[in-house]
Amino acid sequence: MGDRERATARWLRSVFTGWQMPTTRPVDDSGEGAEGLVGFVLAAAAVGALTGLAAAGFRIALVHIAHWRDSLAGWAHGTGWGLVVVVAICAVCTAVAAAMVRRIEPHAEGSGIPRVEAVVAGRADPGRFRILPIKYIGGLLSIGAGLALGREGPSVQMGGSIAVIVASATRRSSAELRILAAGGAAAGLATAFNAPIAGGVFVLEELVKRFDPRTTVATLIASASGFAAAYPFVGSSTDFHMPHLHDPHMTNAGWVLAVGVLCGVLGVLYNTAMMFGLHVADTSRLPAEARAAGIGCAVGILVWCAPDLAGSGDNLTQNALLGHGALGAVTAVLVLRFALGVVSYAAATPGGLFAPMLVLGTHTGLIVGLVAVHVSPHTAPDPAALALIGMAAFFTASVHAPITGLILATELTGTTNQLPPMLGACATALLVAVAVRSRPIYDRLTDRAAAPVDARAAR
């Protein structure tokens, strides 16, 4: 091999492996060669594309399972043993998902976003490759069984796990592995909700909490490539459809403020209830599988009685965004889903928090809208508009990520003329949460996920 061939071989290795500096040294954007940067960008694009394919398959599978669950509920009403069959299936699926987490991969529990956040912050080890299949299969079982959990959390953690695999295969440094994990998280969220901008912004605003050039480039490239890879399978249409909404007026500012305050209060209560439910589960003497089976039984009864109220709740969010429902029924759904979300997450199975939050936020806004129509029928804002505003405000109160809340609500619905009142409601909801010193839900969950590592470091 001549000098030119050797030089070419060295350049190709630098492109695909990056020839990174030792992990003990900080990454310096200004001092890195072009070849290493190209390799890093290619790795981020690969992470995004693989995550998009995995998350798209996960999303499509959940849609088919939800249809099968509805069909099962319909069949159960036509046979004497229908209730027993439905309850048994839901209990077994939930118990199996919990057993997979407890016995095979404990890091696959829950949303997965806190775990990725801990990895990105360097507070937790990247984990083993088997997180990916356990998260995928366990998520299908638990969400498919009807638990009030979302697909976005598992999609985010699957993206983080794919980033670990790609980083290991291309011999990236630990610093770059953490950045790629953030990119995989962005791609997972982008695919889960057809929201590539919200995916990137959420990771930068909430997970890494910084906008440095290297992290921003990797995150946005991964999010875009994930969205592009998933496009042939899930399309690019918005997840939710909105009716025509009138432009906002200052005369409705009081109702918007009410949505912000109410979402702020409920968001704080939801975070508190969620952590209390996890505390009860952590201190329970019951085996995780038995506890999950009991929760699955309760959910199975709900699936048999009212299948539309079970699962991630996208159908409930859609109805609220159309402004449908009577005040009493909408309030009952809000109370039920609030409790069901807390209980479902305590089952210690894979499943996210975003989708349940969207249900609570839209129904909170819709309640205010229905009251407004009753009090002032001629000047009240559209109930559907307040439902949309509530979606962003509740998310902001719980997560403390107002920019993500605004962008996510906009991308999910394709509606832009409600951005000014959404901004006011999000600011109000965040003010309420900050005033009562409520910490963001993912920060609290990240502390829980990183507690074992922090304890070992302290010792």
Question: In the structure encoding, which two tokens stand for residue 449, read together?
Answer: 């996920």
CA dist 434 and 429 (Å) reads: 9
For the ranges 129-138, 201-210, 248-257, 436-445, which has the lowest average pLDDT?
A: 201-210
Residue 292 in this model has a pLDDT that exceeds 80: yes
The answer for residues whose C-beta is within 8 angstroms of residue 40's C-beta and 6 or more apart is 18, 172, 176, 214, 218
CA dist 406 and 389 (Å) reads: 9
CB atoms near residue 403 (< 10 Å)? 16
Distance of CA 348 to the CA centre of its chain: 16
* Long-range contacts (CB closer than 8 Å, 24 or more residues apart) made by 275-279: 275/444, 276/342, 277/342, 277/343, 277/345, 277/346, 278/345, 278/346, 278/448
**Which alpha helices (DSSP H) does 18-144 contain, by range?**
34-76, 82-103, 113-120, 131-144
* CATH class of the domain whose range is 38-234: mainly alpha
Question: In the structure encoding, which two tokens stand for residue 372, read together?
Answer: 């407004």
Residue 347 has what pLDDT?
A: 95
Q: Classify 110 as helix, strand or coil.
A: strand
Which three-class secondary structure string do you get for 356-406? Answer: HHHHHHHHHHHHHHHHHHHHCCCCCCCHHHHHHHHHHHHHHHHHCCHHHHH
Residue 20 has what pLDDT?
A: 35
Segment 361-371 mean pLDDT:
97
Residue 95 in this model has a pLDDT that exceeds 90: yes
* pLDDT tens-place string over residues 415-457: 999 999 999 999 999 999 999 999 999 999 999 888 765 555 5
Tokens 């042939």 locate to 232
CA dist 405 and 2 (Å) reads: 57
CB atoms near residue 407 (< 10 Å)? 21
Q: Please, what sign has the CA dihedral across residues 165, 111, 440, 400?
A: positive
Q: How confident is the model at residue 11 (pLDDT cuts 50, 70, 90)?
A: very low
Stronger pLDDT, 342 or 24, i.e. the higher one: 342
Residue 202 in this model has a pLDDT that exceeds 60: yes
Helices and strands (H and E) in the chain: how many: 18, 0
Residues of the chain with CATH 1.10.3080.10: 38-234, 250-451
Q: How confident is the model at residue 19 (pLDDT cuts 50, 70, 90)?
A: very low
**Mean pLDDT of the chain, nearest integer:** 89
Q: Which residue type occupies 227?
A: F
Residue 26 has what pLDDT?
A: 39
146: closest CA among 278, 302, 15? 302
Q: What is the DSSP letter of 207?
A: I
Give the bridge partners for 150, in sequence order. 352
Residue 17 in this model has a pLDDT that exceeds 50: no
212: closest CA among 31, 27, 407? 27
299 and 310 in contact (C-beta within 8 Å)? yes
Residue 6 in this model has a pLDDT that exceeds 90: no
CA dist 42 and 128 (Å) reads: 23
Segment 174-183 mean pLDDT:
92
Say whether domain 250-451 belongs to CATH 1.10.3080.10.
yes
* Core vs surface per residue 141-171: b (16+ CB within 10 A) or e: bbbbbbbbbbbbbbbbbbbbbbbbbbbeebe
Residue 278 has what pLDDT?
A: 95
Tokens 């490239």 locate to 221
The strand ranges marked E within 252-338 are none
* Core vs surface per residue 201-220: b (16+ CB within 10 A) or e: bbbbbbbbeeeeebbbbbbb
CA dist 154 and 17 (Å) reads: 28
52: closest CA among 216, 220, 234? 234
